[in-house]
Amino acid sequence: MPEEMSPEEMEQKKEMVISMCICPSCPSWVECGEKGGYCFPTIGKSDCINEESGCICGGCPVTEEMGLTNVYYCTRGSEKEQLGK
Protein backbone atom coordinates (compact mmCIF):
# COMPACT_ATOMS: atom_id res chain seq x y z
CA MET A 1 0.00 0.00 0.00
CA PRO A 2 1.54 3.35 -0.99
CA GLU A 3 2.86 5.42 1.89
CA GLU A 4 1.76 8.68 0.25
CA MET A 5 -1.99 8.06 0.58
CA SER A 6 -3.88 11.08 1.89
CA PRO A 7 -6.07 10.69 5.01
CA GLU A 8 -9.13 10.87 2.72
CA GLU A 9 -7.75 8.11 0.47
CA MET A 10 -6.94 5.99 3.54
CA GLU A 11 -10.51 6.40 4.81
CA GLN A 12 -11.96 5.49 1.39
CA LYS A 13 -9.71 2.40 1.18
CA LYS A 14 -10.68 1.42 4.74
CA GLU A 15 -14.40 1.64 3.84
CA MET A 16 -13.74 -0.48 0.72
CA VAL A 17 -11.92 -3.10 2.83
CA ILE A 18 -14.76 -3.26 5.37
CA SER A 19 -17.38 -3.55 2.60
CA MET A 20 -15.51 -6.49 0.99
CA CYS A 21 -14.52 -8.13 4.28
CA ILE A 22 -15.46 -11.77 4.95
CA CYS A 23 -14.12 -11.84 8.54
CA PRO A 24 -17.59 -12.52 10.06
CA SER A 25 -17.67 -15.86 8.14
CA CYS A 26 -14.39 -17.05 9.68
CA PRO A 27 -14.20 -19.90 12.22
CA SER A 28 -12.01 -17.65 14.41
CA TRP A 29 -14.59 -14.81 14.42
CA VAL A 30 -15.90 -13.64 17.79
CA GLU A 31 -18.93 -11.35 17.68
CA CYS A 32 -18.20 -8.26 19.73
CA GLY A 33 -19.35 -5.37 17.54
CA GLU A 34 -16.20 -5.16 15.41
CA LYS A 35 -16.56 -4.89 11.62
CA GLY A 36 -13.46 -6.89 10.63
CA GLY A 37 -10.95 -5.52 8.12
CA TYR A 38 -8.08 -6.49 10.42
CA CYS A 39 -5.71 -6.64 7.44
CA PHE A 40 -5.94 -2.86 7.07
CA PRO A 41 -3.21 -0.90 8.89
CA THR A 42 -5.52 1.64 10.54
CA ILE A 43 -7.75 -1.19 11.88
CA GLY A 44 -5.19 -3.76 13.02
CA LYS A 45 -5.78 -6.69 15.37
CA SER A 46 -9.07 -7.58 16.97
CA ASP A 47 -9.62 -6.63 20.59
CA CYS A 48 -11.75 -9.74 21.19
CA ILE A 49 -10.43 -12.53 18.94
CA ASN A 50 -7.55 -14.26 20.68
CA GLU A 51 -7.88 -17.86 19.54
CA GLU A 52 -6.89 -19.00 16.04
CA SER A 53 -9.59 -21.52 15.10
CA GLY A 54 -9.13 -21.51 11.33
CA CYS A 55 -8.44 -18.75 8.81
CA ILE A 56 -10.19 -17.69 5.60
CA CYS A 57 -8.04 -14.63 4.84
CA GLY A 58 -6.59 -16.35 1.74
CA GLY A 59 -10.06 -16.56 0.19
CA CYS A 60 -11.03 -12.95 0.93
CA PRO A 61 -11.51 -10.56 -2.01
CA VAL A 62 -9.51 -7.95 -0.06
CA THR A 63 -6.48 -10.28 -0.10
CA GLU A 64 -6.54 -10.34 -3.90
CA GLU A 65 -7.48 -6.66 -4.32
CA MET A 66 -4.65 -5.44 -2.09
CA GLY A 67 -2.09 -8.14 -2.91
CA LEU A 68 -1.86 -9.38 0.70
CA THR A 69 0.24 -12.42 1.57
CA ASN A 70 -0.29 -13.14 5.29
CA VAL A 71 -3.08 -14.73 7.34
CA TYR A 72 -4.70 -14.38 10.77
CA TYR A 73 -4.75 -10.58 10.60
CA CYS A 74 -7.25 -10.64 13.48
CA THR A 75 -4.65 -12.01 15.91
CA ARG A 76 -1.30 -11.23 14.25
CA GLY A 77 -1.93 -7.71 12.96
CA SER A 78 -2.15 -6.03 9.59
CA GLU A 79 0.00 -6.96 6.59
CA LYS A 80 2.36 -4.08 7.49
CA GLU A 81 2.65 -5.26 11.10
CA GLN A 82 3.37 -8.84 10.07
CA LEU A 83 6.02 -7.66 7.59
CA GLY A 84 7.60 -5.57 10.33
CA LYS A 85 7.00 -2.21 8.64
37-59 pLDDT, tens digit each: 999 999 999 999 999 999 999 99
Report residue 20's pLDDT band, with 50, 70 and 90 as the boundaries: very high
CA atoms within 13 A on the CB side of 27: 5
Query: Is 32 part of any domain?
Result: yes
pLDDT value, residue 85: 78
Query: Is 2 part of any domain?
Result: no
pTM: 0.88
The stretch 13-22 carries a mean pLDDT of 96
Number of independent structural domains in the chain: 1
Q: Which range marks the domain in which residue 34 is found?
A: 7-82
Query: Is 30 part of any domain?
Result: yes
Query: Is 1 part of any domain?
Result: no
Query: Is 23 part of any domain?
Result: yes
Torsion angle, CA of 57/59/62/67, rounded to 10 degrees? 90
pLDDT beyond 90 at 4: no
Q: In terms of Cα–Cα distance, which of 41, 38, 49, 43 is closest to 73?
A: 38
